[in-house]
Structure 1
Amino acid sequence: MRQTNKVFHLAIPCKDLDETVNFYEKLGCQLARRYSDRVTFDFFGDQVVCHLSPENIDKHPTMYPRHFGVTFLDKEEYNQTLELATSQELPFFKKPTVRFEGKREEHMTFFLVDPANNLLEFKYYHDASMAY
Structure 2
Amino acid sequence: MRPAVHLAIPVDDLDAARHFYGDVLGLDQGRSSDHWIDWNLHGHQLVTHLVASGVGAVGDSEVEGHRVPIPHFGLLLPADDFHALAQRLRAAATDFIIEPYLRFAGQPAEQWTMFLLDPAGNALEFKAFTDESQVFAR
CA RMSD of aligned residues (A): 1.8
- 2:114 matched to 1:110? yes
Question: Partners in 2 of 1:86 and 1:130 — Cα distance?
Answer: 28
Question: Partners in 1 of 2:93 and 2:58 — Cα distance?
Answer: 21
Deviates more, 1:52-61 or 1:115-124: 52-61
Deviates more, 1:93-102 or 1:13-22: 93-102
- Shift of residue 8, structure 1, vs aligned partner: 1.0
Question: Partners in 1 of 2:54 and 2:133 — Cα distance?
Answer: 36
Partner of 1:11: 8
More strand by share: 2
2:70 aligned partner, one-letter code = P
- Contact map agreement 1:23 1:90 (CA 8 A) in 2: no
Runs of 4+ more than 6 Å apart: none
Q: 5+ unaligned residues in a row in structure 2: which ranges?
A: 61-67
Q: What TM-score, normalized to structure 2? A: 0.84
Partner of 1:98: 102
Three-state SS of the structure 2 residue aligned to 1:54 is coil
- Count the aligned residue pairs: 128
1:67 aligned partner, one-letter code = H
- 2:24 matched to 1:20? no
Deviates more, 1:82-91 or 1:117-126: 82-91
